Structure 1
Amino acid sequence: MIRNFDNEWFVLDTKNTTYAFRVIKTGQLEHLYYGEKIRIEEKEDLLCLAEQHAYAPGATANYTNEDRSFSLDDMRLEISTLGKSDLREPFIEVINSDGCRTSDFLFKSASVLDKKSEINTLPSSYIEYKEEGNETIDNKDIELQITLVDDYYKQKLILIYDVFYDKDVITKRAVFKNDGDSSISLLRLMSNQLDFATNDYTFTTFNGAWAREMQRNDRRLTAGKFVNSSRDGISSNKANPFVMIYKNGATENTGECYGINLVYSGNHYEACEVSAHYKLRFVHGISPDGFNFVIDANEEFETPESVMTYSKNGFNGMSQNMHRFVRENIVRGNWKNKIRPVLLNSWEAAYFDINESKLLKLAKASKDVGIELFVMDDGWFGKRDDDSCSLGDWYVNKKKLPNGLGSLAKKVNDLGLMFGIWVEPEMVSVDSDLYREHPDWAMDLKDKPHSEGRTQRILDLCNPDVVEYIISAMSDVFAGANISYVKWDMNRVFTDVYSKYLPAEKQGEVYHRYVIGLYKVMATLTEKFPDILFEGCASGGNRFDLGIISYFPQIWASDDTDCLYRVTCQTGYSYGYPLSTVSAHVSASPNHQTLRKSPLDTRFNVAAFGNFGYEINLCDLKKEELAIIKRQIETYKNWRDVFQFGSFYRGRRMLLHGEHTEYRNEDVFGHGNINEWTVVSKDKKAAVGMIIQALVEPNKQYEYFKPMGLDSDIKYHFTNESKRYNIKNFGDLINTASPVHIKQDSLLHNIIARHVTMPGECEDYVAYGSVLMNAGINLKQAFGGTGYDESVRYFQDLGSRMYFMEGE
């Protein structure tokens, strides 16, 4: 709900939050409040929220000599400009035709709309309007547009606020219009500015690198400025655009927390600045680094959409708001609410060494264990035997697939499997027919050495001919076989950023125009092939953002499939992204990225929390391992609606070395050794929980599991899955029970292990949700070196358990 009191006071309400600002007498917008919902019935109720100014602070400048009671540098503002006494991070920066950088945008008008307006060049959130007879519901007072004007330079700045009432989400964006007679240079235009009265907050970012995405970092905000940004040309694994700002002392379930994200896939910028007067400013939008957009007379520029939510119920409360919003207002298309198939990807099973015979053998093994979708990864096109060639040549390698792509897809379909492929359409290899024919299509510098990444170059998506080529080439591939799934990869960062298509004065537009071109490609292909399940990827999570999710409903979270790392990675994603957007696979042990050995059960337990699959050579596994995988897939299928579309909650959290938070326990034992997750069905009648420990702690035999998000008044049947364990896991302790001595790893030891397994513990309780959430379940005693039977929990390094809760 949006209320406008006399074109002076504005209030935006969601179900549980209120956002308010006003127009001050000099025409700027003063931010008043954003937080827990407050009762406002008339403008007089807002008077106490306005800051009281009598004299401006010393050594500051006044906006005008006619009123010396305040300085903009000491006010909470909706937007800030350069040159008019506010010396903090600006919202907008313009170089006018006379070279001046001072801007002065003042209130002109306001309008309230009952429908959300569209962004012309970028994806954004959307609302599905519901019809009830002749009445349209849930679309009253959805959008507020505030028009600000700089009369001197004849420029407009339109601030657009959209309210998603039930999600407790408000989105913000801006449109700049040049109504003057001359071109100007836009150096910065943010999507969101949020000013706080104090600096009693912590800024949380999610940083990392390849194979180490989404590591949570917390910084208590004191004097100065902290920036989280990307210069990679993509949203980046170094600094995801999702961030949190929380009141110091907040926890997973208590305290004030703001979550903010950007619907954008390029360079982004999030800055928190604490002023000399202890006020906190947050700005969020396209990164100004390397950005210089020329706006000609009568042209405009629109920013991506910033998404923000508030919860008084800590990080989990904030995450629930974000998850619902992303699932229902960002993800779209035929796969929005459709169950995702269990897949097997050929990459770690074969890498580039593929051929039709090998792939069909792997597909047959996949079908035998219950896989539903077989994916052929890199190596199927051009003369691609390694990563040095053929990107851009999207025709089948007939040496590997002599009967073509369509024939292979049909043979896979005949096994009862869907068929998927890998592509990397935004790239070109120098050793390719495409590059030899169109070297001008690559983004590089003429006659200068190129700073190469993965022996490939980036196609110039500023060029409409390149955009049309990618659409045409991919359309031919997707239409040439019965393809049900596409993994869309992007494996390098930007270097030598230069478009041969654009003139010199527009080279500062390359980063943004690339993103616009990319979105045109994705929009066209997803509309043309609505039944294909597209999965985004950029060397894993190097472009995991709401822009990509607007077209592709899921993204490969990381190239690192190590289950211990994935706990931290997937926990990181969970703060801002729902499980239905995160893809996770079971891979080999030792892991290909870390060489860490881990139990097959734990690899499954972690990967099941998301869009699930395998990245492993099934043809090389033992019968016992294949039987375990078959049971895992059966378990996942029985519960995947909960896994993919349930509400996810974080419990106790594992903290690994190298990850920095205020709550960090440097000792791996204790708090930082245990991680708990719970995912709960929409009707709260079913839930799955998982507990994992990093290392065994000697003589620590007792543990508990405390699920979250259940219905307090529903009685649940709480169980675990029955397991049996290889007796070799107990080493030469077998001799404490054997009448004859058995040498560890001997032939006799191996023979016994094939016939004798050790029983696992059974957890079987009936309890109300209030009992499970508040008191928790005291789990069976763990092995502590004093004895073992079916009443003891075998919980080794990287040990984990999955628990099932069904409402009665």
Structure 2
Amino acid sequence: MAIYFDENAQRFHLQSKQTSYMLQIIKGFVTHLYWGRRLAENTCRFPRPIRFGDRAFSPNPAGEGNEFSLDTLPQEYPAYGTTDFRVPAYELQAENGSTITKFIYTSHRIVQGKPKLDELPATYVESDGEASTLELTLVDQLLHVKLILTYTVFEELDAITRSVRFINEGPQQVRLLRALSMSVDFADAQFELLQLSGSWANERNVIRRPLVQGLQAVESRRGASSHQHNPFIALLRKGADEDNGEVYGLSLVYSGNFLAQVEVDQYCSARVSLGINPFDFSWLLLPGEAFQAPESVMVFSSQGLGGMSRIYHRLYRTRLCRGVFRDQPRPVLINNWEATYFHFNAEKIVQIARKGEELGIELFVLDDGWFGRRDHDRSSLGDWFVDRKKLPNGLADVVNRVTASGMQFGLWFEPEMVSPDSELYRKHPDWCLHVPGRERSTGRNQLVLDFSRPEVGDAVVQMVSDILSSAPITYVKWDMNRHMTEIGSAALPPERQRETAHRYMLGLYRVLEQMTSRFPHILFESCSGGGGRFDPGMLYYMPQTWTSDNTDAVSRLKIQYGTSLVYPISTMGAHVSAVPNHQVHRSTSLTMRGSVALSGNFGFELDPAAFTEEEEKLVRAQVAFYKEVRGLVQFGTFYRLLSPFEGNETAWMFVSDDQSEAMVAYFRVLAQPNPPFTSLRLKGLHAEYAYSVKEADGAEEVYSGDALLYAGLNVPVLKGDFQSVVWRLKLVEKG
């Protein structure tokens, strides 16, 4: 059991492998006591109890005296308007227009395992012994609304999840105006805030700044988790770095509009909260109805950012990702998009696939342009039938020709979108998100289908299923290239229009559940202009994501490094593309492009027929090498060694669970005159083992693990810009 309750003190102690989380019921309110390093389970007296005192301009709830105020009480799920002036976790409006609530603890239960969330993705368990769950029930006696706070402790995986459920048990309707998934009040604000932000083709930059008094937040109002901000933040104790110091990570299992925020109050305490963005959101609860908020995943690490990342990696790879591909090596693929864009025919597709197969590539992916009359991005989304002008003998003919000798075949879809110039739109113009009487804005010449409507989702499921059933397809790239505007639904009444964006996500999750259940043999990869929806919600249905549309090797150093703060390497698509790069027009060596792409789910975005003889030889070697280390890269433990956000060099490494093998990759962007000699201190190895260390050129030496960890490995002298080195380490002898 990982959850303990002291009835006399009304105190709960949640305990994982290295973390403790404590809360206490005080005067019926759920208060926060502690989150940090693991404490002994029999902590009978807590040395830092909640303190009370009369504070100016902090009013007191009726009947509680002048020393008790919610404005100074550290809370687990706070409201606004009953003496707490800080940002609330929720807001609920009664029929009379009032937003005042008072939820008081009434009961709790502790159970083994982890209950599922209704209609939402979430982490899961495969046996009850993996986790314990605490459910706290709070009730507003005037409104007869029940609030259930749920905490699950993954004891060995060292993570805590939180979620919230509102149940209207009264005779009147109520409206949720805000329903965040978690809130924590820290006793102080001596932290730095870390966020992952950027833009299309420049996703998940690591941004770190000190907390200051007031509100600091990252959010999305785009109808997707977005390229601009990831649904994750971390609080770092000052001085915390990659390997040392205390870090608190907060991640939201959701793919739509979100808010992650920290408020530092007048007494320099920090309130951190995370959940669905309350901007333009409301949810009507009729009598008997319930609302389930998404899950938040909380990770504490006393071993810096690296420790936090490794907890998230293991949890998300093994207890968020699902399906047969969760634990299977991912195939090396080649995608025709940058080779042909919309301009191809059946013979060109077969030619690219066969050439790729000669190089050892295992999967060919036919990207945009195979359906409707899709010769450009101005038409045919929604018309999921084969373009017979490009593929005169149909899709099955091409697929069978490609797969005849063992190559696999994959297909690109963008099922959530519709082109105004399409048969689907002409037949169902009300099936897109829109507001009556308002113009319909387009993005990439397309509109967003209204997945809040079940009939729309059902039609998409049927069209896509018909294609996937027509040929032996084993991979789908599920794209989404436009954020939401004119967010309204023709199927919802006026009082529910602000539910549209969240209902869209629930509809999308329903569609994805149906698709992945119907086709369990297909590897689904999510995409949104690259990494615009790289979030835990999508990983629940699709175990990998196209990390960014930007395939430039130098840009990818930052993109993949930033992504790795939360997301496992097995979830990252990383490909070699042609140069000059199509996004930034930079030319980098094929060696460096390969080395960067080897650090993810490896593939290519180019025409292999354009390779020179020397390039072809190098690609064969890269593919063969990746197949040797694929299990290590995709499922090993990842360590960051040098940050591209801090200098001209980047390095990372992968270590097997038994510490018997490793791969190390080093990258230098620009050459420097008369540079210093560089060495890398490795991580994750066994100090008492001896390892053979082999460079790409075949040179091999044997070193002790402790020497590699504490003295380091010399980086060879490199000439020119955009250089990389990859080492393979194998166990020689156990000490």
TM value normalised by structure 1: 0.89
Q: CA–CA distance in 2 between the matches of 1:11 and 1:37?
A: 10
8 Å CA contact 1:230–1:267 kept in 2: the answer is: yes
Q: Following superposition of structure 1 onto structure 2, how do residues 577-592 of structure 1 map, counting pairs within 5 Å?
A: 577-592=567-582
Q: CA–CA distance in 1 between the matches of 2:678 and 2:314?
A: 32
Alignment-derived partner of residue 173 in structure 2: 183
8 Å CA contact 1:190–1:283 kept in 2: the answer is: yes
Q: CA–CA distance in 2 between the matches of 1:118 and 1:719?
A: 47
User: Residue 244 of structure 1 aligns to a residue in which SS?
Assistant: strand
AA aligned opposite 2:668: Q
Q: Following superposition of structure 1 onto structure 2, how do residues 417-456 of structure 1 map, counting pairs within 5 Å?
A: 417-456=407-446
Q: CA–CA distance in 2 between the matches of 1:45 and 1:124?
A: 35
8 Å CA contact 1:364–1:415 kept in 2: the answer is: no
Q: Following superposition of structure 1 onto structure 2, how do residues 371-450 of structure 1 map, counting pairs within 5 Å?
A: 371-450=361-440
Q: Are positions 1:357 and 2:347 aligned together?
A: yes
- Of 66, 79, 101, which residue of structure 2 is paired with 1:103? 101
Alignment-derived partner of residue 330 in structure 1: 320
Change (3 A) 1:371 1:441: same
AA aligned opposite 1:2: I
Structure 1 stretches lacking a partner, 5+ long:
130-135, 656-663, 665-671, 723-761, 783-793
User: Residue 586 of structure 1 aligns to a residue in which SS?
Assistant: strand
- Of 646, 651, 655, which residue of structure 1 is paired with 2:641? 651
8 Å CA contact 2:191–2:235 kept in 1: the answer is: yes
AA aligned opposite 1:19: Y
- Of 707, 725, 729, which residue of structure 2 is paired with 1:801? 725
Alpha-carbon distance, 1:443 to partner? 1.1
Alpha-carbon distance, 1:504 to partner? 0.9
- Of 556, 562, 570, which residue of structure 2 is paired with 1:566? 556
User: Residue 362 of structure 1 aligns to a residue in which SS?
Assistant: helix
Q: Are positions 1:684 and 2:659 aligned together?
A: yes
- Of 73, 77, 96, which residue of structure 1 is paired with 2:75? 77
Q: Following superposition of structure 1 onto structure 2, how do residues 19-168 of structure 1 map, counting pairs within 5 Å?
A: 19-24=21-26, 26-41=27-42, 44-46=44-46, 48-53=47-52, 55-129=53-127, 137-138=129-130, 142-168=132-158
Compare 395-404 and 704-713 and name the one that shifted more.
704-713
User: Residue 627 of structure 1 aligns to a residue in which SS?
Assistant: helix
Q: Are positions 1:463 and 2:453 aligned together?
A: yes
Q: CA–CA distance in 2 between the matches of 1:56 and 1:18?
A: 30
Compare 113-122 and 383-392 and name the one that shifted more.
113-122
Describe the superposition over 1:695-714 as per-residue Cα deviations: whole angstroms up to 9, x where unpaired.
11110141112221111121
Q: CA–CA distance in 2 between the matches of 1:290 and 1:594?
A: 36
AA aligned opposite 1:12: L
Q: CA–CA distance in 2 between the matches of 1:66 and 1:246?
A: 36
Q: CA–CA distance in 2 between the matches of 1:569 and 1:779?
A: 23
8 Å CA contact 2:441–2:447 kept in 1: the answer is: no
8 Å CA contact 2:113–2:130 kept in 1: the answer is: no
Describe the superposition over 1:235-293 as per-residue Cα deviations: whole angstroms up to 9, x where unpaired.
11101002211111101000001111111111011000100010000000000011011
- Of 660, 663, 669, which residue of structure 2 is paired with 1:694? 669
AA aligned opposite 1:49: R
8 Å CA contact 1:190–1:286 kept in 2: the answer is: yes
Q: CA–CA distance in 1 between the matches of 2:204 and 2:81?
A: 37
Compare 483-492 and 180-189 and name the one that shifted more.
180-189
Alignment-derived partner of residue 748 in structure 1: none
Alignment-derived partner of residue 3 in structure 1: 4
AA aligned opposite 1:69: E
| CA RMSD across the alignment | 1.1
AA aligned opposite 2:499: E
Alignment-derived partner of residue 708 in structure 1: 683
AA aligned opposite 1:645: F
Q: CA–CA distance in 1 between the matches of 2:324 and 2:485?
A: 36
Q: CA–CA distance in 1 between the matches of 2:194 and 2:113?
A: 33
Q: CA–CA distance in 1 between the matches of 2:376 and 2:436?
A: 26
Alpha-carbon distance, 1:775 to partner? 1.0
Describe the superposition over 1:703-755 as per-residue Cα deviations: whole angstroms up to 9, x where unpaired.
11222111112111112111xxxxxxxxxxxxxxxxxxxxxxxxxxxxxxxxx
Q: Are positions 1:304 and 2:294 aligned together?
A: yes
Describe the superposition over 1:405-463 as per-residue Cα deviations: whole angstroms up to 9, x where unpaired.
11111000013200000000000011000001111111123343222100000000111
Q: Are positions 1:231 and 2:221 aligned together?
A: yes
User: Residue 167 of structure 1 aligns to a residue in which SS?
Assistant: coil
8 Å CA contact 1:763–1:779 kept in 2: the answer is: no
AA aligned opposite 1:17: T
Alpha-carbon distance, 1:395 to partner? 0.4
AA aligned opposite 1:779: V
Q: CA–CA distance in 2 between the matches of 1:511 and 1:66?
A: 41
Question: After the TM superposition, which segments of 4 or more aligned residues of structure 1 sit over 4 Å from their partners?
Answer: none
Give the % identical residues: 39
Q: CA–CA distance in 1 between the matches of 2:467 and 2:409?
A: 13
Alpha-carbon distance, 1:470 to partner? 0.8
Q: CA–CA distance in 2 between the matches of 1:177 and 1:701?
A: 64
Q: CA–CA distance in 1 between the matches of 2:107 and 2:699?
A: 64
AA aligned opposite 1:45: R
Q: CA–CA distance in 2 between the matches of 1:62 and 1:796?
A: 68
Q: CA–CA distance in 2 between the matches of 1:263 and 1:239?
A: 14
User: Residue 510 of structure 2 aligns to a residue in which SS?
Assistant: helix
Q: CA–CA distance in 2 between the matches of 1:624 and 1:239?
A: 41
Describe the superposition over 1:303-344 as per-residue Cα deviations: whole angstroms up to 9, x where unpaired.
110001111000000111110000111011010100100000
8 Å CA contact 1:57–1:70 kept in 2: the answer is: no
Structure 2 stretches lacking a partner, 5+ long:
none
AA aligned opposite 1:471: V
8 Å CA contact 1:347–1:615 kept in 2: the answer is: yes
Alpha-carbon distance, 1:67 to partner? 2.1
Q: Are positions 1:764 and 2:684 aligned together?
A: no
8 Å CA contact 2:113–2:129 kept in 1: the answer is: no
8 Å CA contact 1:215–1:568 kept in 2: the answer is: yes
8 Å CA contact 1:119–1:302 kept in 2: the answer is: yes
How many residues are matched? 730
User: Residue 583 of structure 1 aligns to a residue in which SS?
Assistant: strand
Larger radius of gyration: 1
Alignment-derived partner of residue 594 in structure 2: 604
User: Residue 230 of structure 2 aligns to a residue in which SS?
Assistant: coil
Q: CA–CA distance in 2 between the matches of 1:296 and 1:282?
A: 30
Q: CA–CA distance in 1 between the matches of 2:714 and 2:649?
A: 15
Alpha-carbon distance, 1:137 to partner? 4.2
AA aligned opposite 1:482: P
User: Residue 642 of structure 2 aligns to a residue in which SS?
Assistant: coil
AA aligned opposite 1:693: R
User: Residue 420 of structure 2 aligns to a residue in which SS?
Assistant: coil
